[in-house]
Structures are given as C-alpha cells and as structure tokens.
Amino acid sequence: MNWLTNLIRPRIRSLVEPKEVPDNLWQKCSSCEGMLFNRDLIENMNVCYHCGHHLRIPVKDRLEQLFDEGKYDNITLPDVAHDPLKFKDRRKYADRIKDSRAKTGLQDAITIAKGTMGGLPVVIAAFNFSYMGGSMGTGVGEAILKAAEEAVKAKAALIAIPASGGARMQEGMLSLVQMPRSIIAVEMVKEAGLPYIVLLTDPTTGGVSASFAMVGDIHIAEPGSTIGFAGRRVIEETVRETLPDDFQTAEYLLEHGIVDMVVKRQELRETIIRIISLLTKAPAQEAVKKGNGTKGNGGKRGKAGNPKANGKALPGGEKAALKTEQKELAAKALKQVKAAQKTAQKSSKSLSAKEDLKEDTGQNAPGRSQAS
C-alpha cells in the first residue's frame, strides 16, 4: 500500500489544497488583519493602507526615510567586551549574540549614522528591535556616548530613535549602568547647545524609557506606539485597577503631556527638519515640501534633496516664494512649540502622579531619579 500513501495521496492533496502564497509577497496587518501587498506596503513606508497602523520597520529603511536623498554614513560602533559575566540561562548569552548578529547582520541592537536632513547636520542613533528586542547593554550604551560625541564634534543635532524592551538582563548590573551613562551622553549634546530630539517608536519600554528616551528637547512619537516603563499587566496586578484601553500609547502620553507631538511616519522627516531648523535658527536648505519621500516614492528621497538649491542659485521670484513658505512653516512650528509648552506645564503634574504610581508599584526606575 506504500504507493498509495507515498504517491497518490500527495497528488490528490496538491489538487485539493489551496496553493500557498509565497510569504515574501503578502503579509497581514497586525492591527486590522487586512492583507497587505509587500510592494505597496514598502511604498507606504510600512504603514497599513487599510487602517493606518504603523508597522515596525528595519533601521536601514528608517534611516533612508529620514536622511536627505536616503544617504548617510554609518558610524562604526565602539568595541566592547561582550558577555563580561559569561552569562548563561537556558542558552549561553554568547550564543544569543552570535545568532542575533547572523540574523540581522548587525553588530549590536543600535545603529548610529550621520548625514544631513534638509541640509542640516544630523547624527541619528536608532535601535534595532529585531536584535534581542533592542535591549540596552554595554555596547548600546557605548554607542549612545559615541553618537553624542560625534554630534558635538560635527555641531549636529542628535536624534535618538528607541525601539527597545529595556535593559539587557544578560549583562546584569552593567546594563543598568547604561541608563545614567546615556543621560551623561545627551547632557554633552545639550551643554554644547545642540538639539536633542527623541523619536519614540513601538515599543519604547523599561530602562530605555527610564533614561535618555525621556529627556529630549522635543519628544515625537509614532501613532499607536507602546511607550511605558513597566508592562500593563504588572501595573494592573499591583494597583488592582483596570487601566484605560489606550494606556501607554503615544496618544495617551500626548494627552498627558509626556510626548510633545504624535506624527505620522509620512510627515516625520519634514517635522524633524522644521524642529531642528527652529532650534538651531538655521534655515533648512531644502524646501520642506509635502509628499517628499512619502507615498509613491518607495520611501526614498526624491529630487528635492539638493542642498545647494537654496538662496543664491534661485531666481528672485522663487526666492521670495521660498521665503514666504519658510515664514509660514515657522509660524506653524511656533504654534506647535507653544502647544508643547502648555502640555509641558500639564506634564509636571502628571509626572509627579506617575512617580507616585511607580512607588506604589515598587517599579521605580533606578535611572529615573538620577536622570532628572
């Protein structure tokens, strides 16, 4: 009967069963479960075109979306002693590192890069969530310091883009020490009078949210991102209360003054350029046009990223138009800053409430008090 099971059955099965779609063509939206065609999804900057849910994106795509013409220079990460504790749980920590490196092709859970945005110098430190949950160990802390040093050296704005589950527990105390260290790093940038902007993405939690990610000059968040310290369930079980549905989301934090603005991925680049330009009082050399690098552009910068196309080279009429456009943008941004100041006043209240909550839950972050 072997020929029946070995030959006939698979034949029949192949006739009856639906053909599987190659998994690199389609994927499902984790929010609305709508089917997403990968090519369209990439064109839409990995934002679901059914419900607007912002899916996580690889760091490489993120950097291409933000920098002028999608071009940037990677900064080599400092060498650190990995696995100083020779840690082992179910598996060796050294093996986990090896696996993550092979899977992502990256050295650690952070990538630092420099380039320009709107012609203005920028250093970006972005987390790789796919590398051990974007956890912060010695290597990541060292990289944040390096990014800050590079920003000071180049008189550039520093943008941190966390996507992290928190501290890397395999490094024990050494990972916790990175919290105050990262604070020292961004203090260097602030003391140099340079902007420090945080773009909170999904998820920003634990030790990362309790350190450098919460001390930016301006906090931007992507819609729907989970941002918090301890997990929802832990808090609920400790305070024995049901938390609101939108607890620990970007929108909830905006309402309570922790986040200054929630910005769609398609508008991130122009928003950040506008903020840097305002904070440094340097005009962005590239006209901040809507639609630049957004839908239909494959996430890559279009022709707009010509930093030399400003000022001298332009004929009078265009120059005037550019000026009025800049004025309008400045007015719009001023409004946003004023709104941010208002929420900041509110936030001092909610912050103290938050601290109380943490004390209640016994989840007070060690880095928090040092941070402020």
Q: Does 239 bind Zn ion (CB under 5 A)?
A: no
Q: Residue holding tokens 């950040």?
A: 272
The amino acid sitting at 177 is: V
Q: Does 29 bind Zn ion (CB under 5 A)?
A: yes
Q: Does 168 bind Zn ion (CB under 5 A)?
A: no
- With a CB cutoff of 8 Å and minimum separation 6, the contacts of 360 are 238, 239
Q: Does 27 bind Zn ion (CB under 5 A)?
A: no
Of 53 and 265, nearer to Zn ion (C-beta) is 53
Of 53 and 114, nearer to Zn ion (C-beta) is 53
* DSSP category for residue 22: P
Q: Which of 31, 130, 280, 350 binds Zn ion (CB under 5 A)?
A: 31
Q: Does 157 bind Zn ion (CB under 5 A)?
A: no
Of 32 and 313, nearer to Zn ion (C-beta) is 32
Q: Does 50 bind Zn ion (CB under 5 A)?
A: yes
Shortest distance, CB of residue 51 to Zn ion, whole angstroms? 3
Q: How many residues bind Zn ion (CB under 5 A)?
A: 8
Locate 266 and state its tokens. Answer: 């398609």
Shortest distance, CB of residue 31 to Zn ion, whole angstroms? 5
Of 30 and 352, nearer to Zn ion (C-beta) is 30
- With a CB cutoff of 8 Å and minimum separation 6, the contacts of 194 are 151, 152, 155, 156, 157, 158, 280
Distance in angstroms (rounded) separating the CA atoms of residues 231 and 30: 19
Alpha helices in the chain (DSSP H): 2-3, 9-16, 38-43, 59-66, 93-104, 138-153, 173-176, 178-191, 206-209, 232-239, 250-255, 265-280, 316-361, 366-371
Shortest distance, CB of residue 57 to Zn ion, whole angstroms? 15
Distance in angstroms (rounded) separating the CA atoms of residues 307 and 309: 6
Q: Does 45 bind Zn ion (CB under 5 A)?
A: no
Contact between 289 and 248 (Cβ < 8 Å): no
Q: Which of 44, 45, 47, 53 binds Zn ion (CB under 5 A)?
A: 53
Shortest distance, CB of residue 36 to Zn ion, whole angstroms? 7
Shortest distance, CB of residue 163 to Zn ion, whole angstroms? 19
Q: Does 344 bind Zn ion (CB under 5 A)?
A: no
Contact between 197 and 272 (Cβ < 8 Å): yes
Shortest distance, CB of residue 109 to Zn ion, whole angstroms? 27
- Number of C-beta neighbours around residue 57 at 10 A: 21
Q: Does 48 bind Zn ion (CB under 5 A)?
A: yes
Q: Does 35 bind Zn ion (CB under 5 A)?
A: no
For Zn ion, the binding residues (CB under 5 A) are 29, 31-32, 34, 48, 50-51, 53
